[in-house]
Amino acid sequence: MSIENIVATVTLDESLDLYAMERSVPNVEYDPDQFPGLIFRLETPKVTSLIFKSGKMVVTGAKSTEELIKSVKRIIKTLKKYSIKISGKPKIQIQNIVASANMHVHVNLDKAAFLLENNMYEPEQFPGLIFRMDDPRVVLLIFSSGKMVITGAKREEEVYKAVKKIFDKLEELDCVRAIEEEEELEI
């Protein structure tokens, strides 16, 4: 399983002068006629922040909660380095975690669609089964190859819990079968 992206909002307790930021901070983009936020990109880790004059930020691209926190600290440190006043401690709230996983089994999606509740499967429209899980509250896109995409989690643990829970459920419903060694080499 791997986390592909974390989207978080960050709240600073003060309004920001985006024009001053654009003038003094290198490598930022600000065109208020096109978009009301300033775009701030970090190279490592590869994270993008949209900064608004209200003091709110949207940060995307982090691959872990730890990376997210480090990125926010780096953004604020960089802004302070260029004389942008930030006094309060940032409040970080994760809005969405997107992850991918591979169960290393074949999944019979027709059978799973029939036996699972809260799902949508229309193979003519989309090759994956869309499953809405209540606990944790996430959406899983499950493919016959055993690969899946998990979205909607607020904490990394929820992703792990969802993957284990859906694997156990599919196994219990007899919707999975092992991939033969030759087949796995082809994938």
Q: Structural domains in the chain?
A: 8-94 (3.30.310.10), 103-178 (3.30.310.10)
Give per-residue pLDDT as tens, 29-61.
Answer: 999 999 999 999 999 889 999 999 999 999 999
As a whole number, the mean pLDDT across the chain is 94
Give per-residue pLDDT as tens, 6-30.
Answer: 999 999 989 999 999 999 999 899 9
CA–CA gap between residue 112 and residue 114 (Å, rounded)? 5
φ/ψ of residue 130, rounded to 5: -100, 115
Structure tokens at 187: 């994938």
Residue 184, pLDDT score = 53
187 against 52, higher pLDDT: 52
Residue 181, pLDDT score = 54
Which amino acid does the sequence have at 157? E
Q: Lowest-pLDDT range, 99-103, 124-128, 179-183?
A: 179-183
Would you say residue 65 has pLDDT above 60? yes
Which residues contact residue 160 at a Cβ distance below 8 angstroms, ignoring those fewer than 6 apart?
1
Confidence band, pLDDT 50/70/90 cuts, at residue 76? very high
Confidence band, pLDDT 50/70/90 cuts, at residue 185? low
Alpha-carbon radius of gyration of the chain: 21
DSSP 43: T
Give per-residue pLDDT as tens, 156-182.
Answer: 999 999 999 999 999 999 999 998 755
Which residues contact residue 37 at a Cβ distance below 8 angstroms, ignoring those fewer than 6 apart?
18, 30, 50, 51, 52, 58
Length of the chain: 187
